[in-house]
C-alpha cells in the first residue's frame, strides 16, 4: 500500500494477523537500488510472532523521490512509520546501508527500541579501502575500475549508467555465485541514481556512529557473512564491541546476505534471539 509519510509516498507492507503482537520495522540497504523485497525475505518469516513492517525507503523502489535523501530524513521516516503503525516501542532491523540507518535511529531514539538486529553493516567508512581491495582482487570477475569508482563514490551519470555499474559489481556479493541469475537480478531493480549519488557522495563522508554506539541500551544482534566483501567481518566486530548488550553471529557460508545464502540458519538465529530477548523477556 502507498502511505504518505513526511510529505512523500512510501510503498509499505505490514504483515502479521495479531494486532497485539510487537512491531518489527525492517529497513533495506542500497539507497536507490534496494527495496522491501530484501527485508521481506530476511524478516517476513517472523510475521507469526511480530507485526513485520517492510517498505521502500524515500528515493527507492516504488516510493516517491521527494528529497532530502539524508540520514536525518530517513530516520524521521522510520519514526513516522512507527507512529503510523501505532507502536510506542518496536524492534528495528536493517541490513547494509539499512544497518547504518538502524544504528542512527537507535542513537537518536534509544527509548523506542525493544531490540536491534543488524546484518552486514558498518559503523563508519573506515572499511572503504579494504572493500575496494577486495573487489579488485576478486578471482570471480575482472572489475572495470572506472565503473567501480563511479558507483562507490556516487558519481553515476543516470539510471542506465547506474544499471551498468551495478551489473559490474553484483557478482562480488555472493558466497556461491551463479552467473545465470544476473540478468533477472539486474532487471528486477528500480533504479534511482540521484538517491544513490547523494547517499554515497555526501552522506557517507559524514557517517560515523561509533561515538554513539556505547549508549545503545537495547539487546542487539549483529550478523555478517564471513565472505562479505563490502562490509567485512571486522566492521561487525567493531559494532559488537561497542554496543554493551550485543551478540555477534558470523555466517561461514555467506557473502553480503546470509538471509538469502543460509536462510534456515539465519532465520533460526534471529527467531531465537528475538524470542529470548523480546518475547520471553517481556512476560
3-class secondary-structure state, position 95: strand
Q: What's the CA gap between 254 and 5, in Å, rounded?
A: 35
Question: Using alpha carbons only, how large is the chain's radius of gyration in Å?
Answer: 18
| pLDDT bracket for residue 58 (50, 70, 90) | very high
Q: What average pLDDT does this structure show over 192-198?
A: 98
Q: What's the CA gap between 118 and 96, in Å, rounded?
A: 8
| pLDDT bracket for residue 141 (50, 70, 90) | confident
| Residue 282: per-residue pLDDT | 55
Give strand pairing partners of 91.
24, 115
Q: What's the CA gap between 92 and 90, in Å, rounded?
A: 6
| pLDDT bracket for residue 74 (50, 70, 90) | very high
Q: What's the CA gap between 153 and 130, in Å, rounded?
A: 15
Q: What's the CA gap between 33 and 30, in Å, rounded?
A: 5
Domains and CATH numbers, the chain: 2-127+207-279 (3.40.50.1820), 128-200 (no CATH)
| Residue 45: per-residue pLDDT | 97
Instruction: Return the number of other C-beta atoms located less than 10 Å from residue 86's C-beta.
Output: 9
Tell the residue number behind the cell numbers 552486514, with chain if given: 120
| Residue 17: per-residue pLDDT | 87
What is the β-pairing status of strands 113-119 and 246-251?
Answer: unpaired
- 199-244: per-residue pLDDT in tens? 999 999 999 999 999 999 999 999 999 999 999 999 999 999 999 9
Segments of 182-262 assigned E as strands: 220-225, 246-251
- 23-37: per-residue pLDDT in tens? 999 999 999 999 999
Q: What average pLDDT does this structure show over 270-274?
A: 97
3-class secondary-structure state, position 34: coil
- pLDDT at residue 258 greater than cutoff 80: yes
- Across the chain, mean pLDDT equals 96
Tell the residue number behind the cell numbers 528529497, with chain if given: 67
| Residue 172: per-residue pLDDT | 94
Q: Do 41 and 95 touch, CB atoms closer than 8 A?
A: no
CA dihedral 143, 146, 151, 152 (to 10 degrees): 80
Q: Do 56 and 28 touch, CB atoms closer than 8 A?
A: yes
3-class secondary-structure state, position 153: coil
* The C-alpha cell that represents 262 in the structure block: 543460509
Percent residues over pLDDT 90 in the chain: 94
What is the β-pairing status of strands 8-15 and 51-56?
Answer: antiparallel
| pLDDT bracket for residue 61 (50, 70, 90) | very high
- 173-187: per-residue pLDDT in tens? 999 999 999 999 999
- pLDDT at residue 283 greater than cutoff 70: no
pTM of the model: 0.95
DSSP state of 190: P
- pLDDT at residue 104 greater than cutoff 80: yes
**Region of 194 on the Ramachandran plot (φ > 0 left; ψ -120 to 50 alpha; else beta):** alpha
- pLDDT at residue 115 greater than cutoff 80: yes
Q: Do 171 and 249 touch, CB atoms closer than 8 A?
A: no
Amino acid at each position: 500500500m502507498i502511505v504518505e509519510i513526511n510529505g512523500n509516498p512510501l510503498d509499505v507492507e505490514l504483515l502479521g494477523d495479531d494486532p497485539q503482537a510487537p512491531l518489527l520495522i525492517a529497513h533495506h540497504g542500497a539507497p536507490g537500488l534496494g527495496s522491501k523485497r530484501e527485508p521481506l525475505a530476511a524478516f517476513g518469516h517472523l510475521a507469526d510472532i511480530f507485526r513485520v513492517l517492510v517498505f521502500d525507503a524515500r528515493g527507492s523502489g516504488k516510493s516517491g523521490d521527494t528529497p532530502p535523501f539524508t540520514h536525518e530524513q530517513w530516520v524521521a521516516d522510520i519514526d513516522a512509520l512507527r507512529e503510523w503503525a501505532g507502536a510506542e516501542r518496536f524492534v528495528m532491523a536493517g541490513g547494509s546501508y539499512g544497518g547504518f540507518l538502524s544504528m542512527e535511529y537507535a542513537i537518536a531514539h534509544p527509548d523506542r527500541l525493544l531490540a536491534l538486529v543488524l546484518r552486514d553493516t558498518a559503523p563508519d567508512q573506515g572499511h572503504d579501502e579494504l572493500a575496494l581491495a577486495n573487489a579488485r582482487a576478486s578471482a570471480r570477475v575482472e572489475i572495470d575500475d572506472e565503473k567501480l569508482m563511479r558507483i562507490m563514490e556516487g558519481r553515476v551519470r543516470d539510471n542506465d549508467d547506474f544499471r551498468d555499474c551495478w551489473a559490474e559489481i553484483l557478482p562480488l556479493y555472493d558466497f556461491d555465485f551463479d552467473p545465470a541469475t544476473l540478468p533477472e537480478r539486474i532487471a528486477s531493480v528500480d533504479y534511482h541514481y540521484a538517491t544513490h549519488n547523494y547517499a554515497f557522495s555526501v552522506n557517507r563522508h559524514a557517517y560515523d556512529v561509533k561515538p554513539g554506539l556505547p549508549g545503545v541500551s537495547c539487546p542487539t544482534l549483529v550478523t555478517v557473512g564471513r565472505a562479505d566483501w563490502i562490509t567485512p567481518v571486522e566492521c561487525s566486530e567493531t559494532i559488537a564491541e561497542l554496543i554493551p548488550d550485543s551478540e555477534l553471529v558470523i555466517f561461514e557460508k555467506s557473502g553480503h546476505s546470509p538471509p538469502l545464502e543460509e536462510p534456515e540458519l539465519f532465520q533460526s538465529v534471529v527467531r531465537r534471539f528475538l524470542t529470548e530477548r523480546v518475547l520471553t523477556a517481556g512476560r
